[in-house]
A and B are shown apart, each in its own frame.
Chain A
Amino acid sequence: MNSCLFLLLVLLPGTAQAQQYDLLLKNGHVIDPKNRINSVKDVAILNGKIAAVADAIDASKSLKTVDVSGMYVAPGFIDIHAHFSGSPGAAIFPDSHTLRSGVTTAVDAGGTGWRNFPEFRKKAMDTALVRVLAWINIVGRGMDGRAGEQNAKDMDPRSTAAMVNSNRDRIVGIKTAHYDGPEWVAVERAVEAGKIANVPVMVDFGTFRKERPFQELVLRKLRPGDIYTHLYLNSVPMLDEKGRVLPYLFEARKRGVLFDAGHGQGSFLFRQAVPAVQQGFIADTISTDLHIGSINAGMKDMSVVMSKFLIMGVPLEEVIARSTWAPARAIHHEELGHLSVNAVADVAVFRVEKGDFGFVDSYKAGMRGTQRIVCELTLRDGRVAWELNGITRESWDKLGKYDSQGDSRWDATSEDGRNSRLPGAVPTAPAK
């Protein structure tokens, strides 16, 4: 009996080894800033995790092999500023603009507060294929209209921190936003909640007022690791009269305050961004501020925002770093944002298209560029969640009278994946 069990234990891994990997991406140019990889490598995946990254991995070892030569392979992009909660017509369905632009983790930026976060978690987070995390708003009802967002009486650090503590797998920090008053109360309560729960704070500074100068926000009020979002907003004191970046910004950065792009509908101007980037004041993290008002305007999606940094002269590896490993660290999710062996296999496969392209900022000024990031394939937990040109698929006329293709070991859009997303079916909750 004992020896039987022993035999079984020995044999089981042995039989599994016949198919060592579920999915193998061959010949892609891997950019993995955390691990300082920037060269052609094969990437193998097993059970939703990175199993190997090496110069040449034998295709016969994998259930499914996809040739990605000519493309880049990066950790799935992490967008730390998006909006998935709130009314239809403001929020975006999480899977609709993320996966197609290589985003595998997106962080809702304060749409809900401690009063309505649980409902958001249940209805939107748990049913999305993209990994949805959240900044919780310091206002109890979150972004429930501009008037509600001014209600300092509903800014309760203790209740907010308590909600963080009971949802640590989903809530990454505290958000304060859209505050118009002359006092520091919104920022201070958010930082207080951040201290209690030991999480960072993300600040949208609302109306910029002389009673609470921006310089004081980033030089005194925020702690190292706290984030100011909407970096290239018109209102941010960015350049002196000669067009030089003001020194206090570098000082704030030295203190450890982080600066996030948070492009959105109104918060990204080339006349702020281009000179700043040229002088080395580049956003620590690249993010979209995705909502209905930004997806059809200059912002569009994560790959467009990343492309803007590329055409402003930021090297591709840097653009990737600020969209993967840097945001993973900013939200204290260091298990994400890289392709280390055993890391979650969230992967973006993309091309850099060459041509004559145009980009638009929040005041509707244009900028021409010759490069554009186009996402070809997105893997979430090791499974295909988006592909632009069917690179994982067999040609229909070689398949006879085929039925549903794909295998749920590598394909989240296979019949299993699809059925779980049809009305009436029980949604499959992502692993995390």
Chain B
Amino acid sequence: MHLSSLLLCASALYAQTSYDLLLKGGHVIDPKNKINAVRDVAIRDGRIAAVAPNIPAAQGRKVVDVAGLYLTPGLIDLHAHVFAGTAGPMLAGGHTSIFPDAFALKSGVTTVVDAGSSGRRNFEEFKRTVVDRARTRVFVFLNIGGSGMTGEAQEQNVDDMDAKAAAELAMAHRDTIVGIKVAHYRGPDWRPVERGVEAGTLANIPVMIDFGEFRTERPFQELVLKKLRPGDIYTHAYYAPVPMLDDNGKVFPYLFEARKRGVLFDVGHGGAAFEFRQAVPAVRQGFVPDTISTDVHSGSINSGMKDQLNVMSKFLNMGMPLEDVILRSTWNAARVIRREQLGHLSVGAIADIAVLGVEKGKFAFVDSFGARMDGTQKLFAELTVASGKVVWDLNGRTRDHWDRLGKYQGLGEPYWDDSRGAARPMPAPASK
């Protein structure tokens, strides 16, 4: 027998007996692969190794029963603010941003996209202090403004919106920077949008627009019908100033037209940008968001937004089928940022997984104006797996009962368990 065939036998044997982690009995919703059925999911070396109706428990080194729960790709939050630091009350390096691990993992989110907190001048600091240290996967929309969201003066300074410089930085950091962000502009002119699109064109990446103050000099219709390219994103879709409904409560046709052009509409709920009186009629008439996202920051986590699952639950209670809610929080978002290795459970994909429950009962949700909507369903995250390892476990589902363990020491093997929680240590600042 040849050595090579011996090795082949050995590896086949290994494959049969040792998945690192086997999640059994969950209802898999994997929109990309059109799976919506009970399946077992096996993981090895941080990747999806098998998805099948019945994988014997003996093949998993660690087996977790997730019957009665939904198993989906790890959620992707397309609009977050995670450039947390000690600079004061601001989104760029301050405490208005939230460190990603503080909110993402416990709501099933394994990937967040920071929406323009940093610009070309503070991107490196953001990368060093947060992106490279967090256990949540972080991508970045780079602000067209050089200093990102440092304050009002910087965000209105059009002279500092340098398309070429932004594009160059984006191209130098293709692993992290997935797009360009334009935000919070109050002036009457189109320059920030135009420079954002110019940077996006140069670097061949999408642009995400927060339209700032809505002004008659630059109509929203023109933004989505002319200025944006297919694949560009308007965030804050259900924000009150968006011209959404006519006097009879019908969704304006231009919105469907813009969508037909390929412009994408993201929720970006945040502290001020989601109104039921816009969203409920729009969703009923089929104007649903392409992507569901939070706009998480210190001003939204304790108000109506709360977290990704709360925003998703709003859509569930507005009548969107669960599979659709999942699609718009996983695969759709992955495609928007052109990270097609994420957002699905194909064999070989990175094993980012959310195990979700749908609680039935009497719940209510609050919008950005403080109005309420009642509902009967609410999503919760029972288990979150990032790169094949457990990073959140709401009810100790992966754990053994303490009184059967004797004088136990630290439990949980590193091949499936990464719930220790700490971020990687801060590297030394780059010398200047």
Chain A residues packing against B (C-beta within 8 Å): 87-90, 92-93, 95-97, 99-100, 119, 123-124, 127, 129, 234, 265, 269-271, 274, 292-298, 300, 357-361, 363-368, 385-387, 389-391, 393-397, 399, 401-406, 411, 413-414, 418, 421-425, 427
Contacts and interface: CB of A to CB of B under 8 A. Distances in A.
Contacts of A397: 276, 280
Contact of A93 (B84, B367, B395): B84
Nearest to B117: A423
B399 interface: yes
A421 B96 contact: yes
A361 B271 CA distance: 35
Nearest to A422: B299
A274 B404 CA distance: 13
A405 B419 contact: no
B89 A402 contact: no
A301 B404 CA distance: 26
A386 B304 CA distance: 9
A297 B399 CA distance: 12
A424 B152 contact: yes
Contact of B371 (A361, A395, A424): A395
26 contacts: A88-B85, A89-B99, A96-B301, A100-B306, A127-B95, A234-B409, A271-B402, A292-B101, A293-B421, A295-B106, A296-B101, A358-B396, A360-B393, A364-B410, A365-B400, A393-B364, A395-B374, A396-B276, A396-B372, A396-B373, A404-B369, A405-B370, A413-B303, A421-B298, A422-B299, A423-B90
Contacts of B280: 396-397
A394 B423 CA distance: 41
A371 to B, nearest CB: 13
A403 B275 CA distance: 9
Given A88-B84, A270-B402, A393-B366, A413 B302 contact: yes
A293 to B, nearest CB: 4
Contact of A296 (B86, B276, B419): B419
- Chain B interface size band reads 35 or more
Given A88-B85, A359-B396, A367-B401, A96 B370 contact: no
Interface string B380-424: 000000000001111111011111010111111000010111111
A22 B130 CA distance: 42
Nearest to B378: A389
Given A293-B422, A413-B302, 18 more contacts: A88-B99, A88-B129, A89-B129, A90-B423, A96-B302, A97-B102, A358-B399, A389-B364, A395-B374, A396-B275, A396-B276, A399-B277, A403-B240, A403-B369, A405-B370, A418-B271, A421-B96, A423-B96
A367 B396 CA distance: 8
Interface in B310-333: none
Given A413-B370, A418-B303, A421-B271, A368 B401 contact: yes
A366 to B, nearest CB: 3
B86 A93 contact: no
A288 to B, nearest CB: 13
Contacts of B86: 87-88, 119, 123-124
A90 B421 CA distance: 10
B272 interface: yes
Instruction: Please give me the 8 A-B residue pairs with the lowest Cβ-Cβ distance, nearest first.
Output: A366-B399, A358-B396, A405-B370, A89-B423, A393-B372, A358-B395, A396-B371, A365-B402
A300 B394 CA distance: 9
A89 B402 contact: no
B370 A404 contact: yes
Contacts of A95: 298, 301-302
Contacts of B90: 423-424
Given A87-B129, A406-B370, A421-B96, A391 B151 contact: no
Contacts of A90: 422-423
B370 A423 contact: no
A222 B88 CA distance: 37
Contacts of B426: 87, 89
B362 to A, nearest CB: 8
Contact of A386 (B133, B302, B365): B302
A300 B277 CA distance: 35
A295 B369 CA distance: 30
B98 interface: yes
A96 B98 contact: yes
Tell me which of A93, A274, A300 has the highest count of chain B C-beta atoms within 10 A of its own C-beta.
Answer: A93
Contact of A389 (B96, B299, B363, B392): B363
Contact of A357 (B240, B395, B421, B423): B395
Interface in B199-247: 240
B271 A365 contact: no
B302 A265 contact: no
